[in-house]
Every structure is written in structure tokens, then in C-alpha cells.
Structure 1
Amino acid sequence: MSHTPQIRIAATYMRGGTSKGVFFRLADLPPAAQVPGPARDALLLRVLGSPDPYQKQVDGMGGATSSTSKAVILSPSASPDHDVDYLFGQVSIDTPFVDWSGNCGNLSAAVGPFAIANGLVDPARIPADGVVEVRIWQANIEKTIVSRVPITNGQVQETGDFELDGVTFPAAEVPVAFMNPADGEGALFPTGNLVDELEVPAEVVAGGRLKATLINAGIPTIFVNAADLGYTGTELQEAINGDPAALLRFETLRAHGALRMGLIKDVSEAGSRQHTPKVAFVAPPSGYTASSGRQVAAEEIDLLVRALSMGKLHHAMMGTAAVAIAAAAAIPGTLVNLAAGGAERDSVCFGHPSGTLRVGAKASRAGDDWQVEQVTMSRSARVLMEGWVRVPGEVAG
């Protein structure tokens, strides 16, 4: 009986922010996977170890959470205004599905360092010591990201003393700016309203109506008040992820919000768009104990935010959702802004399950509408392993 041997593909396993994923150069992928389609999806699923009915991804590189089941494909940019094209795939853990509908804001911080180390940035632009500004084209959402990568002795600096809640060890700080982050062609609020009365089934909330801010910034996000769902905003993962009824309730809310935002035509389509939109609940500041045991005082933060990704409460905060939080907080009248005390602001510090995060946003009026010029935050990134991933040869097409 003959067997197809494994093949190896050059890859780098990287942490970016509070996520980690497998990074590839487009040119290193097998020819069939260098173009979008079933062959690419099948390859990435096998690399990460999905679909896994046990939800452990033991036979792959995935870490069995939405934060650790990710893939990135990078190539020299076709645009003269950008250094690198960045494509992100959110790999489902238990179903044969790769979601290409959005970005990963956390892994965005690792794109610049990877691009420099792998020859995707002109070497003439890299100083012996200093900072390289890497202009990234985010191909999923067709937006620009600007990353400022520290350089020491001509190499990407990865170690440092910058601490990020949700990441165990300090590293070098990588400031990231998300330019004009409104989704699509600038429809920041797809319904035209800062707050909507969202119609949902009675099992989501009594009366079937729920206040929500629906925003397209960084990633389409549905914000609701924690109190309206019977929460305080201080919940940690187990309070939500250990409650199947709560998870079903949030998924139902997400499906109806996606429909109202025009992302799907029927609520039944939400299951094929797992990565977007996100759902988050907000509350005014209150003290709580973070998952690390750290005591977060109410005076440290402007508001509380808890967000779900791929059907589970996130252990910290998705980078793209942080973009949405910053944008919504900067605009008076949104639920996020009201939870933070109202009024215009150019930055906000929010509490999440792992601690706190500060993000900045530049928002301005454009006639009767609002526009967000950019959202900024600091993350860190580090190479965990580099070399080759191996997959059975038949997977590569």
C-alpha cells in the first residue's frame, strides 16, 4: 500500500498582540494555494489542525481558541504606496471553514516585523538603529495600516520592557495606526444611527428590542449595554463560555445584528460568516479582578468592555474590536461613548478580562455624518518559531 509523504512549507509561528498565528510568504505556498479558493483553505485547515470535533487542534499548529487559530499570507505590495499586502484567515476550529471577511488587529502588529525580516521591505529603508515605518495594505478589508517597527543593529527588535495585558512577558513596543478604519466605502454607521433599537427574539432579551450601536470600524461590531443583558461588564471568560445558553443567546444577537447591518440577507447566513461581526457589551467603570489576579480599579479606566470572537468570550480584546471601541468612544451619543461618560474624546482606556488597554482615535464631523481618520494603539510582536510546517502531500493539491 502506497502512502503520500508529507511536504514542508516555509512558515513562521508568530505572536502579535494577544494572538498568534502561522505566517507565510505567498511565494512559499504550493502553486494551488497561491490563489484564493478551496485548495488554499484546505491547506490552512490542515496546517492549523481543523476541523477537529474534539476542538483541541492536537494534530496541527492551532491552539484551540479563536486567538490562536489564525493564518497570515504576505507578499510584496502591488501598490507603490504600500510595502506589503497582508491577507488574514480566521480558521474555524471544529468546522471546515476559513473566514476571510475581516482583519486581525493583533496580528497586524506582527506583519511589519515579519515583512522586514523576510525581505518584503526595501533594505535601503532599514536603519542600523531607529524605527521603520511599514505601510501595510490589509487586503481583506482594503485598508491601510501603518506600523512603526523598532530596529537595533539593523535587525527587528523584539525584546523590550513594553507590557501588554493578556501577554505574559514584556517585549518591544510596536505602535500601529489603522487609517480610515470605517468598513467598505466609509459607512461608519451602516444604519445611519448612533443607537438603534435592534429587534431580536425574546430569548435574547425580554420584549424583543435591544439598544445597540452598530459600527463598521476596524471590524463590524455590535455594541450593547451589559445591564440590558443582565451582566455587569466585569465578567471573565468562564462566566460566559461556561454557559451554553448565554453563548447561544449572543450568537442569536450577532445574527440579527449582522442582518440589520446589511452583512447578510438572512439570519441563517450568520454561521458562514463567523469572524464578523463581533458582539461586545459595555458598562461604566467598575473595579474588578482580572484573569491574571490583578486588581483593576474603577479609577484606572473609562469603561468596561467584554467582546466575543468566534462564538466565545475573548480572553482579552481583539485588536480590530479595540479599533471599533476607540472609534465609537470618540463619537458622542454611541453606547460606548455614553458608558465612558459622554462628550468628545480622542482616547479611551477600557477594562477587559485580562486587564486594560488604551486606544486613541481621531474623529470629526463630515456634514451630518462622522468620520474617523485613524485609530492608534500599541502592541508587541515576537517570532516564536520559524522553519517549515509539514502537511500530507495530498492536501497541497
Structure 2
Amino acid sequence: MNLLRRKTDPVRAAAQAEARVAEVRAEIERTRLTNQLDRERADAQRQAAEEASRRDRRAQVARRRHRRMVRTAALARIRPVLPLLLINGGAAYAQAGFAYDDVAPNVWNVPSKLAFALAFSAALESVAVYVQWHAHDALLLKAYGTAARLRRSAWLIAAVVGAINYAHFADGLKPTPAAIAFGMLSLLSPWLWGLHTRRVQHVQLLAEDSNLIDDAGSEFSTARRRAFPWRTWQARRWSIDHGVRDPREAWRGYNAERIARKAEKTARKAAVEAAEEMRPAPIQATVSRLPVTELDRVWSAITNTASPAHEPAQPALPAPAREPARNSTNGARVVAAKSRLTSRRGKRTTVSVEPADARLAAAYPRLRDLLGREPSGAELAAEAKVSKATANKWKNSQSREDVTS
């Protein structure tokens, strides 16, 4: 009993209490860490599941986008040729009807005739389509001669097929709506192929180099075309000639050129008028007032004047009415004035009878000083009152004399 009643050691008891407290704390910490690990593991699993879900969603979106792109590309390829497919389908239907009614033997049963009609229409239509496709391919390969020959062949085949369709549905030679419709379907196929080929060629040239495309010039607004129809047309021609696509620049450029031409024309006209004013007026006399004998002597002097052989011959002088004779000094005065009378288009005018070379030699320096350049043959001829051929011949002779001297 004394042993049982023996007192415990307080230090040992305190140590045991601390050990139990530490053990409890360790258990709590272990529990806490275990729970934290479970939470982290659950979070990681949840994040992995979310990431997998996101990847699946992205994959589904990518697959949908790819399918949409494939459909869009297919539609982009089919859309330009869809009218061709419809046209060729209608023509094939007409050819199948022709084969079923007119080509297939009547002793065949319906399935055999139907199969033969489908095969016949497919074969006949595939010939035209095959030739048109080769023409399309040759043009894209820049074999322009081959493409042109194949296109002509396609038109010929389409005309034959159109004639077959027309003959099958027509009432003899009398047109019917079905005959016209199915005949036109066959003829429209090469035209639509040509439209598609030109579009593809245009896209191809744009992809290679935009400079390979021939620009159509500037496009002007409807209001400008209505207000200035002629000037707008001229400005468009100017833009095509100069390769200008900006309508404002084309309009300014054309108007500047038009004003410059107008100013040049005005200056040329003013120069000619100034030359006319500076030229001394020739002494003129009215020959019709001379007596007949003096008039004959003047005409003889005119016809005997040396002139180039290529000048136009003077028309015959109409005989004037006889008048009382006057003294012969009038005729001498007329001959000294060197005048002559010409009648053109029923009008009688009085011009100088000075030799052509002298008139040209006098007119040339005047025009050269006035214009500031060498006058042309037409300007020299108008100034000297001679033909253009005479003026050019005189200029050539002067050039040869300058070279020899």
C-alpha cells in the first residue's frame, strides 16, 4: 500500500504532459498536412480536367473552323461554275430526251432506253465540256493561239448540239418555246466558259503582277457625265491614253491640255492675222473695165508667166461685155501692176500675178520672223498664195542650194 501511495515525480509528470501535448500537436499537423495535400491533389485534378476540357473545346472549335473553311473553299470553287453546271445539266436533259425518243430503238424496254439516253447525253455533253476545259487551261498557260482554236471548236460543237436540241423540240422548222430554250442552253455554255476563264486569268495576272492588267482609265460620276458628256468622254480617253486612274487628276490633265490646244490655236490664228496685216497690199485693177483688146493682152501676159508645172491650171476667162475703147495706158498700167483675174466657183477675184518664187522668197523671212521658227509648207503656201506642193518644192530647192553653197 505504501508503494501505491507513493508520490509521482512532478518533473516526470510535466515531461509526460509535454510529450502528450507534442504528440497531439503532431497529429493535428499531420492531419492538416494530409487535408492540404488532398485539397492540392483535388485542385490539380480539377485544373487538369478543366485544361483537358479547354483543349477539347479548342479542338472542337478548330475542327469546326476547318470544316467551315473546307466548305467555303468548296463553295468558292463551285460558285463560279455553278451556272455552267446548271446550263450543261439542262442541255444534257434535252440530249437525253432526244436519245430516248429518236435514237434508242423502239423495241428496247424502258430501263434500257433510259440508260442509253443518260449515257448518250453524258457522252455528248462531255465532249463540249472537255474541249472548253482545254481552252480554259490553255489560256491560263498563256497558249493564246491554242486557246483561240479550242474556243472556236467549242463554239462549233455547241452550235451542233444546239441544233440537235432545237430540231428535237421544234414543230418541224417552226420554233417552239422548248426548242428555243434548250437550243440557247447549248449555245450559252461556251460563252459562260469564256466569262469564267477571263475572270480566272484576271485573278492570275493580279497574283503575278498588277502591272500586267490593262487599266480601263478613270471612272467619272454620273452627275459629271450628265453635265459634261463630251468632255467626260474626252477626259476618259485622255486617262486611258496616259494611264491615269484618278478621276480628279484625269479631269485636270485633260482640261489643261484642252486649254493649251485652244491657246495654241488662238496664237496661230493671231500670227496669221498679223502676217496678213504686215504684208503690203498688191496693186489691183479691175480688168473687166478694160476694152477687149487690152484684156486679151493682159490675159496673154498672165498665161505666159513662168510658173511651176504642178500648179493648178487657170480656168478659161469669160468674155466680158464690150465697152468703148480707152487709151492703151490703162492696159500698160494693169500690166505694170502685175494683176491677174481668176474665176473659181463662180466668183471673180483679183490676185497678184507676181511669180511664185518671188512671192515665196518674200513671204518666207516674214513668217520666220513672225513665228520665231521655220514656217511649214502649209503656212508658207497660205502666206504666198500658192499651192502647198509649190511651197514644199521651193523649200526643198532652197535647202539643196544651201547644202551646195
More strand by share: 1
Give the TM-score normalised by structure 2. Answer: 0.17
| TM-score of the pair, normalised by structure 1 | 0.18
Return the structure number with greater relative CO, CA threshold 8 A, min gap 6.
1
